[in-house]
Amino acid sequence: MPLIVQKYGGTSVGNIERIKNVARKIKKAVDEGNQVVVVSSAMTGETDRLIGLTRELSNRPNPREQDMVVATGEQVAIGLVAIALQELGVPAISLTGWQVPIITDNVHTKARIKKIDTHRIRKHLDEGKVVIVAGFQGVSEDGDITTLGRGGSDTSAVALAAALKADVCEIYTDVPGVFTADPRIVENARKIPVISYEEMMEMASLGSKVMQIRSVEFGAKYGVKIHVRSSFNDEEGTWIMEENEEMEKVVVRGISHELKESRITVVRVPDKPGVAAKLFKALGDKNIVVDMIVQNVSHKGFTDISFTVNKTDADYAEEIAREVAKEVGAEDVERNDKIAKISVVGLGMKTHSGVAGKMFEVLYKEGINIYAISTSEIKISCLIDEKYAELAVRALHEAFIENMEGDIQYE
Ligand code: ASP
Ligand code: MG
């Protein structure tokens, strides 16, 4: 019997009517002869509300206690979905993360899944039940409730699909799939039918509005076929899977933009070995993920080191940078929250040149200054002023996607 993992996001279970709709969708998959494991997020807005409550008491709530509060959102949702299914005559049981159990490390509020024990889920599936698992949460080896970071239900779903060797992991959401650019910015953005894990990971912002990126990493590692689709209709969405030759024919799959980062610059650092090591080790020790790093050419024995971090980590990162700056005798630390990272992403870049040059030219023609550049085999990112983000995305989409249908020559 095929096994499907279906994940429903917050808007899909946003009210009782929608929960009934979700139950009908699940019933359909059951009637079609599938075993079904469902992962649900909290009802829309609930996680924000719960975090808000903790913030009314403290600016930096104890992370263990925050997890205790925030994990309740999903518990409500799974119970409601189970009841809705039972009302349709479908045997169903809901399980929290610790009932499964989904074992995580003990990094509260951004825990990572270490292991999933599938015995109990299997048992209930064998009894003919739909099993509804709370997304976003797990339990540490010490027995404490943990959560996986915002949007973590996707990771719960893909990890469960991997552990259960499911045939597919369906991510039901409020958008029809992954687009070539944010459709709210680019009128001509189109739905992408198939995308590789690697491209999806590189399209962080485009992707992460749809799915938590860590879930795609998981999918790639265990080869889980992911189908992102709308919970409001039956249309095919976007399949995320292993790359194949066909996919390489498209040079640029999408244009993504990220406004969630801040740039921190350590100014006039003595240019000697060990400074970067000290800085980035200190950040790493605090679990702060650094994205772009730029070190300028040194001038009279001094240099500037800039890096970007998620805005939510920026206060802390700045604090750490100031400590390190003092230690190594740097002049100052500067911070800019008004930046945007714009990326062009595509597997075909592995075999086609000229993309970077064309990207810089498009930005130049729009009069947009580039603060920093980073590249990978399949992505080029430019850091620019936040106020030009939409203009840049539109211009790049036009140049690389709208004007390039079936055409891969840039020179
Ligand atoms: N409810 C959690 C959040 O809002 C997890 C999720 O929706 O995936 O981040
Ligand atoms: Mg989500």
The CATH number linked to 161 is: 3.40.1160.10
Domain membership of residue 230 (yes or no) is no
HSE toward the beta carbon, residue 171, CA cutoff 13 A:
35
Please provide residue 322's backbone torsions phi and psi, each rounded to the nearest 5 degrees.
Answer: -65, -40
Per-residue tokens: 181: 């650019």
Find the helix packing angle between 275-285 and 311-328, rounded to 10°.
140
Q: In total, how many domains does the chain have? A: 2
Q: Encode pLDDT of 147-203 as tens digits.
A: 999 999 999 999 999 999 999 999 999 889 999 999 999 999 999 999 999 999 988
Q: How far is the CA of 302 from the centre of ligand 1 (A)?
A: 44
Domain membership of residue 332 (yes or no) is yes
Same domain for 8 and 130, yes or no, is: yes
Same domain for 35 and 121, yes or no, is: yes
**Domain that residue 11 falls in:** 3-174
Domain membership of residue 192 (yes or no) is no
Same domain for 258 and 377, yes or no, is: yes
Same domain for 134 and 252, yes or no, is: no
Same domain for 21 and 160, yes or no, is: yes
Of the residues 118, 150, 174, the one at which a domain ends: 174
Domain membership of residue 180 (yes or no) is no
Distance CA 240, CA 221 (A): 13
Domain membership of residue 320 (yes or no) is yes
> What is the three-class DSSP state of 100?
coil
Q: Encode pLDDT of 63-97 as tens digits.
A: 999 999 999 999 999 999 999 999 999 999 999 99
Q: How far is the CA of 14 from the centre of ligand 1 (A)?
A: 12
291 annotated among ligand-binding-site residues: no
Query: If we measure between CA atoms, which residue out of 350, 362, 366, 337 comes closest to residue 408?
Result: 350
Nearest ligand 1 atom to the CA of 10 is 7
Q: Specify whether the CB–CB gap between 263 and 371 falls below 8 A.
A: yes
Query: Which residues are near ligand 1 (CB < 6 Å)?
Result: 9-10, 41-42, 47, 73, 135-136, 150-154
Per-residue tokens: 71: 């994990």
Q: Encode pLDDT of 349-392 as tens digits.
A: 988 889 999 999 999 999 999 999 989 899 999 999 999 999 99
Which of 150, 155, 228, when mutated, tests ligand 1's pocket best, judged by the most ligand atoms within 8 Å of its CB?
150
Please provide residue 239's backbone torsions phi and psi, each rounded to the nearest 5 degrees.
Answer: -95, 130
Per-residue tokens: 334: 């500067």
Of the residues 174, 192, 211, the one at which a domain ends: 174
326 annotated among ligand-binding-site residues: no
pLDDT at 350: 86
Q: How far is the CA of 41 from the centre of ligand 1 (A)?
A: 6
Q: Which amino acid is at 314?
A: A
Same domain for 252 and 107, yes or no, is: no
316 annotated among ligand-binding-site residues: no
CATH code for position 369: 3.30.2130.10
Same domain for 126 and 275, yes or no, is: no
Same domain for 261 and 169, yes or no, is: no
Displacement of CA 155 from its chain's centroid (Å): 9
pLDDT at 8: 97
Domain membership of residue 227 (yes or no) is no
pTM for the predicted model, two decimal places: 0.85
Of the residues 111, 142, 174, the one at which a domain ends: 174
